[in-house]
Amino acid sequence: MLLRGLLASVETGVNRVLRLDSTALARLRPLTGKVIAVRGSSPTVQLFILPSDEGLMLAAEWAADADCTLRAPTSTLLRLTLSKDKSAVLHSPQVDLEGDSAALMALAAVLQDLELDWEYELSRWIGPVPTALIGGHLRSRANWYQQGFASLNQNLAEYLSEEARTLVGEREAQARFEQIDRLKLDLDRLEARVERLSRSLKPSDHA
């Protein structure tokens, strides 16, 4: 019952998030009726996902056969949940897919493309005008912080590589790597030439 309680809470949270995206539920509609089984190993976990245009239903067990079964180590499943590029994780060799994989791929695509309209949700609680004010304020703050971090990042990199000389600059490192590559090629050529000369100085076996 504890697991079911946990799944019910997660389900409520996930569906609330899905409703913040204007297209997610519509994109889930064609998946209605599909049963996706997720089985993790070490530690063993099992979960059934039933998508529909009302969101996702999460079940600890399901009496009917699954349309698609995903088997993977639990750590990989966690990575799949957190990863932005879910398709890449699904195509990794540790992941085993059985049945109608298109359903799972479609679900992964919906989750990957989520664009949450948090302003709409906020406006339902506090109204459109305060939401617009808060939204504008937060956006300008976010831009300011973004620019500030980018600028700090650039200045710090320049200071460490150009002024303090603690780190080697990227261009300088690139030039040094190219020199090393050239030197390596020159050495290879020299070695080949010495080899050829030593062979020509040796008396021939047929002489």
Partner 1 sequence: MTDQRKGSDAEPTTHFGFKNVPESQKADKVAEVFHSVAGKYDLMNDVLSGGMHRLWKRFTIELSGVRPGNKVLDIAGGTGDLARKFSQLVGPTGHVVLADINASMLKVGRDRLLDKGVAGNIEFVQADAEKLPFPDNHFDCVTIAFGLRNVTHKEDALRSMLRVLKPGGRLLVLEFSKPTNALMSKVYDAYSFAFMPMVGKLVLNDADSYRYLAESIRMHPNQETLKSMMVEAGFDRVTYHNMTSGIVALHRGIKP
Q: Provide the binding-site residues for partner 1, judged by CB under 8 A.
A: 1, 4-5, 8, 32-33, 48, 50, 52, 54, 57, 59-64
Least distance to partner 1 from the beta carbon of 55, Å?
10
Closest CB 48 distance from partner 1, rounded Å: 8
Provide, rounded to whole angstroms, the least separation between the CB of residue 32 and partner 1: 6
Nearest to 39 by CA among 84, 83, 104: 104
Nearest CB to partner 1, comparing residues 11 and 119: 11
CB 51, min distance to partner 1, A? 11
**Amino acid letter, 160:** L
Alpha-carbon distance of 170 to 176, in angstroms, equals 10
Closer to partner 1 by CB, 8 or 194: give it.
8
Identity of the residue, 8 or 156, whose beta carbon is nearer to partner 1 in the bound complex: 8
CB nearer to partner 1: pick between 28 and 111: 28
